[in-house]
């Protein structure tokens, strides 16, 4: 595939390195001459010097034949501009946008950009996950109303020894995976037994998280 990455900072450069290793054709558009030079030094002649939000630069990068455009500068307004011109002007099939300020997620979603990456949100979620014991929202699944939730079963939880069938699960909730130390992961069926210290990965909706927590841990 031909992939154009706009923004050659840590994120763009890291992505370029991996995608080149995977055998893709990559162009990194970078407006800082020193950064572009250093990318070329490391990865071969892949960097194009210029402002990737400018259409003449996009044309020079061959955006009309790009399969994927990744907008990952440190400025959300630039990423939005790149994403919109890539889609509107060059009909790029897949546009991935990085969001720096989580407050901007709303506008990207409102404009129909479902492939977005928000490092800040990912890090905040990871911190929340480490800080809060028990049930934690892991990841929003694309732009749906569903989230992946992870929970460790406490040894004294009422559900220890019960089967999945016995659990009082809230609506729109499915247990997807049980992870156990010293054992293979199990895709749970109605007859799977819950053990203490099991790690349960569930698909649920944010409003049903409290009920799921109660069902799995006995804690509200």
Binding site for another protein (CB under 8 A): 53-56, 75-78, 80-81, 84-85, 88-89, 101, 103-104, 106-107, 110-111
- Alpha-carbon distance values, 111 to 30, 48, 84, 131, 141 (Å): 25, 28, 9, 33, 18
User: Nearest distance from residue 76's CB to another protein, in Å?
Assistant: 7
Q: How many CA atoms lie within 13 A of 31 on its CB side?
A: 13
Residue with tokens 């546009």: 95
Tell me the closest approach of the beta carbon of residue 101 to another protein, in angstroms.
8
The minimum distance between CB 137 and another protein, in angstroms, equals 22
Q: How many helices (H) and strands (E) does the chain have?
A: 7, 10
- Of 61 and 157, the one with the shorter C-beta distance to another protein is 61
Between 110 and 156, CB nearer to another protein: 110
In angstroms, what CA-CA distances link 164 with 154, 159, 168, 169, 215? 16, 9, 9, 9, 10
Query: Which residue, 19 or 63, is less far from another protein as judged by CB?
Result: 63
**Nearer to another protein (CB atom), residue 75 or residue 195:** 75
Q: Give the shortest CB-23-to-another protein separation in angstroms.
A: 32
């Amino acid at each position: 595939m031909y992939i154009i990455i706009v923004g050659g900072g840590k994120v763009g450069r890291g992505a370029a390195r991996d995608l080149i290793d995977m055998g893709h054709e990559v162009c990194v558009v970078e407006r800082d001459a020193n950064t572009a030079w250093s990318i070329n030094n490391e990865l071969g002649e892949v960097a194009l010097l210029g402002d990737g939000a400018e259409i003449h630069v996009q044309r020079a990068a061959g955006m009309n034949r790009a399969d994927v455009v990744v907008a990952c500068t440190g400025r959300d307004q630039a990423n939005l501009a790149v994403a919109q011109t890539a889609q509107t002007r060059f009909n790029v099939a897949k546009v991935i946008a990085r969001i720096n300020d989580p407050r901007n997620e709303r506008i990207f979603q409102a404009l129909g950009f479902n492939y977005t990456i928000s490092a800040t949100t990912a890090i905040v979620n990871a911190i929340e996950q480490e800080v809060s014991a028990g049930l934690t929202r892991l990841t929003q699944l694309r732009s749906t109303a569903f989230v992946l939730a992870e929970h460790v079963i406490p040894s004294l939880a009422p559900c220890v020894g019960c089967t999945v069938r016995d659990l009082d699960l809230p609506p729109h909730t499915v247990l997807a995976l049980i992870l156990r130390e010293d054992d293979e992961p199990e895709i749970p069926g109605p007859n799977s037994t819950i053990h203490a210290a099991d790690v349960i990965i569930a698909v649920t909706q944010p409003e049903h998280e409290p009920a799921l927590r109660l069902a799995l841990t006995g804690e509200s």
